[in-house]
Chain A
Amino acid sequence: MRSLRRSIRPEQIRELILVLVILALVLFFGTQIRDYYSGRTFIRVSTSIAIIAVVAVGETLVFLTRNYDLSVGSIVGLTAFSVGTQLSYYHFIPPIGAVLMCVGLGALMGAFNGLLVAYGRVPSIIVTLGTMAIYRSLLVEYPGNKIVQFNALPGWLQEFSSVNVVKVGDFELRLIVAIALAVVIVFQLVLHFLPYGRRLYAVGSNPEAARVAGFPSQRIVFLAFVLSGALAGVAGFMFLGRFGNLTVVAAMGTELQAIAAVVVGGASTMGGSGTAFGSLLGASLIGLLDQSLRRWPVISEFWRDAVLGILILLAVAGDRAIIERLRTLWARSELQQRSVQSIVPRGDSVHGS
C-alpha cells in the first residue's frame, strides 16, 4: 500500500485515463468518418488543439492559484483583431514586432485583471466576468473597419498557418502546433523546476499557510494573471495567423474551451494541482471532439458545445469521486501503519527535565 501510494499519484492515473480516452475516440471516429486517418484531419485537429492548448496553459497558471480567468477569450479576440487591423494598414511591421505586440497587449490586459484580483481583492470570477465584457466591447469599438480580411494581411502572415516544421508522409507538423508544444514544454518546466512555479502551487494549495510563510502571494497571483494574458496574446497571434478573416465575435467562447481543457486535464478548481501537460491532454480531447463532431454524420455538429459542458461536469464530478476514494485508501493504510508502530515499545522517557 505504501509503495503504491508512493509510486502512483492520482494525477498520473487520470492522465493515463485521458490518453486512453483520446485513443479510444480516435479509433471510434476512424470507424465513423471517412478518410479520418488522413494528413488533413491531423492538421485540422492539431491546429485547433494548438490554440486551445496555449490559452489553457495560461488558464492553468491562474487555476493553480485558486482563481479563474474568464476574460481570455476576449483577450485572444482583441489581440488578434487589433494587431490584425494594424498589420493590414502597416505591412512593414516585422513578424517579431507583431508577436511582441500581441504578447504585450495580452500581458497588459492580464495585468489589469491581476491588479484587481491580487491587490484590489476582488474575486477573480467577478473581475474576469467584467473584463470579459470590457475587452470585448473595446474590440467592437476598435477604430477602423469592423473586420480583418485575410487578403489585406501581409504576405508572411498569410503563409504563416501553412508553414511546416516536420513532415512525415501526409502528416505535417505545422508551425502553429510547434509553437503550442514549445509553450506547453516551457511551462511544464517552469511549473516543475522554477521556485516561482512551485510557489504557484503553494499559494493555491493553502493561501493561509502561504501568507504565514511570508510568500509574496499578491505578486505571485498578479504574475499568474499577467502570464495568462500574455499567453492569450500568443494565442491571439496564432488565431490571426490561422483564420485571417476576423469579425468582432473572434474567439468568443475560447475561455470556455480553455477552462474545459484545464478542468478535464486535472487541475483542481480549488487550486494547488494541475500541470501544463495535463491541460494539453485536456485541450487535445476537446479539440479532437470539436473537429470530429463537425464531421460525424450521426449527430448534428451543434452538439459540440453541449458535449463540452457535460465533459466539464464529468471531469469535476469524477475527480471528486476519485479523490474521495483515494483519501479513504490513504487513511486506511495510515491506520495500519500506526497500529504497527504502536506495537514497537516506546523509546526513552519523554520527560527531559
Chain B
Amino acid sequence: MARESSPTLQRLVNWLKSWEGLLLGLLIVVLIINSSAVPAYLSVGNQVNLFILYIERIIIALMMTFVIINGEIDLSVASLMGLAAGTMARLYEVGVPSGLAVAAALGAGLVCGAFNGFWVAFVGLPSLVVTLAGLITYRGLVWVLVEDRSISNLPGWLNDLGQKPLVGPFPLALILFFVLAVVAFIVLQYSGFGRYVYVIGINRDVARYSGVDVRRVKMILFTASGFIAALSGVLYAARLGAMRSSTAEGFELDIITMVLLGGVSIFGGSGSLRGVLLSILIILNLRNGMGLAYLSANLQTGVIGLLLILSVLVPNLARSAQARLARRRLALRTMQPAEEV
C-alpha cells in the first residue's frame, strides 16, 4: 500500500534532490568567488569562451550520460576523438577532398563505436574491459596514422567553422551543443528510447523479460557514442587547427567526472541531464577560477581527478552516516523498554 511507502526510498529521492541542490550551491559559490576576482566574469562573452575551451568534452558528456545511466561505460571516447581527427587530417593530407575526409572520420567513429557495442551487447563482455581495450587500440591506430608528427594542414573551411563565431558570438560547436542538449534532454526524459535506457540501467532482466530489445539499445548507445566522439574529435581539431597523436589524450577523465559529479549513478539506472549540465557549469567555472589563481592546467586535472572521487565518495559517506544515525536512534528507542523490564 502506498501509505506504507518505504522511507528509505523517500530519503533517496530527497537525497537526489539535495545532490542537485548541493551542486547549485557549489556553482553559486564558485561564481561569486570568480566574479569578485574578475570584473565582467559573468558576461556572455566570458562564459562563451569558457564553454568553447571544453565544448568537445561537454558534447561527449551528454552522450556519456546515456551510456552510464544504461549501466555501462565508454572509456574509449578520447581515443576516438583522436582517431577521428587523425583520419580526417591524414586523408586530407594525402589529397582526399575535405568533405570526404570529414565523412570518413565520422564513419570511423561509427564503426569503432559499433565494434565496442558488438562486444558489449552481443558477446556480453563487460563494457569497462571492452572500451579499455578500445582506448588502447584506437589510440594505437592514431599513432599508426599520424606517427609522431603534428598535422596542421587542415581544410580551411573547417578551421573557420571551428574558430569563428557562426551566429552572434556562438561558433558552430556551441550551437551544436545547444541543439544536442535539447535533443538529449527530450530523448532521455520523454521518449520511448529514453525510457528503455533507464529501464535497462535499473534492471536489465526486467527489460529483457518485458520484451525490450536490450542488445539493440546497447548497440545504438555505443554506436552513437562512437559517432559523437568522432564528431567532437573533428570539431576539436578544427578549433585547434592542428592535431597530433596525443590529441585529446586523457579527456575521458573530464567527461566521466562531468557525468558522475552530476549525480548519475555509476551503477546505472538513475541520474538526469539537469544534474550533468549543472556539474559541467561547475567544472568549467572551477577550472577557470583555478586558472585565475595561477594553478597550472596540470594541477587542474589533478583537482578534477579528486572531484571525480569525491562525487562518489561523498554520497557514500553521507548514506552510511545516515544509516548509522538511524541505527543509533533505533537503539535508543528500543533501549528504554528494555530498562523498564
Contact = CB atoms under 8 A, between A and B. Distances in A.
- A touching B, CB within 8 angstroms: yes
Interface stretch (A17-25, A97-105, A234-242, A301-309): A301-309
Contact of B132 (A121, A136, A306, A312): A312
Given A120-B317, A316-B129, A320-B124, 19 more contacts: A116-B309, A122-B313, A123-B312, A126-B308, A130-B306, A133-B308, A302-B143, A302-B147, A303-B144, A304-B143, A305-B136, A306-B141, A308-B136, A309-B136, A309-B138, A312-B133, A312-B136, A313-B133, A316-B133
Nearest to B307: A130
23 contacts: A116-B309, A120-B313, A122-B316, A125-B266, A126-B256, A126-B308, A130-B306, A130-B307, A130-B309, A133-B250, A133-B305, A133-B308, A140-B298, A140-B299, A141-B296, A269-B128, A302-B143, A302-B148, A305-B136, A305-B140, A309-B138, A317-B123, A320-B124
Interface stretch (A4-12, A155-163, A215-223, A256-264): A256-264
A123 B309 CA distance: 9
| Secondary structure call for the A interface | helix
B266 A307 contact: no
A125 B136 CA distance: 16
B266 A309 contact: no
A310 interface: yes
Interface in A276-323: 300, 302-310, 312-313, 316-317, 320
Contacts of A140: 296, 298-299
Interface string B298-320: 11011011111100110011001
Interface in B25-69: none
Nearest to B300: A137
A120 B314 CA distance: 9
Contact of B299 (A137, A306, A309): A137
Shortest beta-carbon contacts, A-B, top 5:
A309-B137, A306-B140, A305-B140, A137-B302, A133-B305
A310 B309 contact: no
B139 A120 contact: no
A210 to B, nearest CB: 19
Given A120-B317, A309-B134, A309-B136, A68 B128 contact: yes
B128 A125 contact: yes
- Among B135, B137, B139, residue most surrounded by chain A Cβ atoms (within 10 Å): B137
B129 A141 contact: no
Contact of B147 (A68, A136, A300): A300
B130 interface: yes
Interface string A122-160: 110111011111101110110000000000000000000
Contact of A309 (B123, B135, B313): B135
Given A130-B309, A137-B301, A260-B136, A312 B129 contact: yes
Contacts of A125: 73, 128, 266
A258 to B, nearest CB: 12
B301 A303 contact: no
B19 interface: no
B126 interface: yes
B119 interface: yes
Contacts of A302: 140, 143-144, 147-148, 245
B284 interface: no
Interface string A236-257: 0000000000000000000010
Nearest to A259: B132
B212 interface: no
A99 B143 CA distance: 35
B253 interface: yes
Interface string B312-331: 11001100100000000000
B260 interface: yes
B125 interface: yes
A29 B299 CA distance: 43
Interface residues of A, number: 41
Nearest to A256: B136
| Secondary structure call for the B interface | helix
* Contact count band on B: 35 or more
A133 B138 CA distance: 21
Contacts of B148: 302
Contacts of B137: 305-306, 308-310, 313
A308 B135 CA distance: 10
A305 B139 contact: yes
A110 B304 CA distance: 19
B305 A134 contact: yes
Contact of B123 (A137, A141, A308, A320): A320
Contacts of B134: 309, 313
A306 B79 CA distance: 11
A120 B316 contact: yes
Interface string B63-93: 0000000000100000000000000000000
Interface in B93-136: 119, 123-126, 128-130, 132-136
A67 to B, nearest CB: 11
Given A130-B308, A130-B309, A317 B125 contact: yes
Contact of B253 (A120, A129, A304, A305): A129
Nearest to B308: A130
A120 B129 CA distance: 23
A116 B313 CA distance: 8
Interface string B254-297: 00100010000010000000000000000000000000000010
A133 B312 CA distance: 16
Contacts of B138: 309
Contacts of A123: 266, 312
Interface in A43-88: 68
B266 A126 contact: yes
Nearest to A299: B144
A55 B288 CA distance: 36
Contacts of A120: 313, 316-317
Interface string B171-202: 00000000000000000000000000000000
Contact of A313 (B119, B144, B266, B320): B119
A309 B133 contact: yes
A271 B128 CA distance: 14
Contacts of B147: 300, 302
B305 to A, nearest CB: 3
